[in-house]
Amino acid sequence: MTFRGLVVLACVATLMAGCNSRKNRTSNTIANATGTAGAGVSAGDRNFVNDMLADGTTEIDLANMAKDRASSTDVKQFAQMMIDDHTKAGNELKQIATSNNITPEGNASKDQDLRNKLSSLKGADFDREYMKAMVDDHEKAVRQVRSRVDENRSLNERLTGKNPENPATVKPEQSSDPVKMRINQWAANTLPTIEQHLDRAKTIKDTLDHTSRTTRGTAGTNAPAATGTSKY
């Protein structure tokens, strides 16, 4: 082989080595990015996302049960609102989780004991137990979501969970962490809706309780007097 041929082969080998090196660096960069995506997400943020997704799934499952077992029109309408609003909020949070490689852990319906209890009830009995659970669940949800927002509202409004007339009074808690900021923004967007759910749940529960007390009182008043044989 001539000297010129050896030089050409050496150049080709050098070019191939350079290309392979760049290819390997690119592959490693992609692999590293994929492997570490979401690695910087704090445990608190992960837990919050997982809790909210699981709670939303529970609300939807119970609402579907309510549509079949409830007797009150108000309860059925409330159940449909749960399905619509929690589906929307859940889908938005899932997008945040997916884009930050937050894998849902145990993202299934919770409160199996409550599900078992409600599945054994129908009609007015179901209505009362379901709405009681909705008040309890949404009081908890308001506390959790509120921990991630800044509110320009009075202390009384915050303590009572009053739904703000102007949603702009609820802002995300500021953070230099972009993932936390996205989650906090979701919380700020969602809090007014959850508080509206709580307000409505309390109103329906109070109405059902009042109706139940009135019905029992009327039944007691109209009960026939005991009869028996006189001693005289």
35-79 residue pLDDT tens? 344 568 999 999 999 999 999 999 999 999 999 999 999 999 999
Q: Domain of 61? A: 40-213
Answer whether residue 145 is part of any domain. Answer: yes
pLDDT tens per residue across span 2-32:
545 544 445 445 545 554 555 454 444 433 4
CB atoms within 10 A of CB 38: 16
Residue 31 lies in a domain: no
| Mean pLDDT calculated for residue range 204-217 | 88
Of the listed ranges 19-23, 27-31, 163-167, 172-176, the one predicted with least confidence: 27-31
Q: How far is CA 13 from CA 3, 5, 7, 8, 27, in A?
A: 16, 12, 10, 9, 21
What is the reported pLDDT for 163?
58
Domain membership of residue 227 (yes or no) is no
Q: Give domain status of residue 70, yes or no.
A: yes
For the cut 70, the answer to whether the pLDDT of residue 187 exceeds it is yes
pLDDT digits (tens, 9 = 90+) for 218-229: 655 554 544 444
Enter the tokens of residue 116.
């078992």
pLDDT value for 118: 96
Does residue 141 register a pLDDT over 60?
yes
The answer for residues whose C-beta is within 8 angstroms of residue 23's C-beta and 6 or more apart is: none
CATH number at 117 reads: 1.20.1260.10
Q: Where are the alpha helices (DSSP H) in 70-221?
A: 73-99, 112-119, 123-146, 155-160, 178-221
In this structure, is residue 66 part of a structural domain? yes
In a domain, 2, yes or no: no
Q: Residue 151 forms beta bridges with which residues?
A: 170
Q: What is the pLDDT of residue 205?
A: 97
pLDDT at 37: 45
Closest to 184 in 3D by CA, of 172, 193, 175:
172
